[in-house]
Amino acid sequence: MNNYKLLIQYDGGRYQGWQRLGNGENTIQGKLEQVLSALLGEPTELIGCSRTDAGVHALAQTAHFKTALEPSEEEIKLYFSQYLPHDIGVLEVSRVPESFHARYCAKNKTYLYQIWNRTYPNPFLRKYSMHVRQELDLDAMRQAAGHLLGAHDFTAFSNAKSKKKSMVRLLHDIQITQRDGCVRVRVRGSGFLHQMVRRVVGTLVAAGSGAIHADSIPDILQSKERKRAGYIADACGLFLEHIDYSDN
């Protein structure tokens, strides 16, 4: 079987998320599979690295598919560019070893979250950021973020329904920067629970606005109680920014 890797970007604003839902076609995976199956002339499954939620965007989603056919990389890329909606784009197509798996081979993922932190709204960022009117204390946010680094049970920071799998995740880095009114939070980790990044951001905003103390994070983690963590930040501000497949 031939194995192809795709690098994909999308504006998730009008979709129900990445993962195909039954016969519904209003998902990123569904749209891509529909076009891909038409190209290959057979039903084809596309496996994505991250199952982004409804309204979440991607700057660098990675996916793969297998086929006995041998279309060229350029042929696949051109076909996608002709038939995909304009809010989904396939940037790169490459043939990879059959052992490559978009989800299982990923080492780390980086998510970017944008917060518009001014009293007045920004009409040009309203679809791609969360508006927080109160001025945020970035030092308090960074102090809170420091407590989240490392391996922890993130039950309090997730809406994951199943308790059968481990809720422990490893966060390598959280960077918080601000420029021209836009606060950017980058979270890099080996993996994430359902809505974990959005709840982490909501908790950091709570620390930055004084609603909770930055040093309360260890107690929130230990409690495993979702009601003690911050709210779930808006989906529109979240981007899957990078997936690392290196061995380093």
Which residues are annotated as catalytic?
53
User: Which residues make Cβ contacts (< 8 Å) with residue 113, sequence separation at least 6?
Assistant: 130, 184, 185, 186, 187, 197, 198, 201, 233, 237, 238, 239
User: Which residues make Cβ contacts (< 8 Å) with residue 120, sequence separation at least 6?
Assistant: none
- Asked whether the CA dihedral 207, 161, 23, 64 is positive or negative, the reply is positive
| 235: helix, strand or coil | helix
CA distance 71 to 38: 13
CB 134 within 8 A of CB 207: no
User: Which residues make Cβ contacts (< 8 Å) with residue 129, sequence separation at least 6?
Assistant: 114, 115, 116, 122, 182, 236, 237
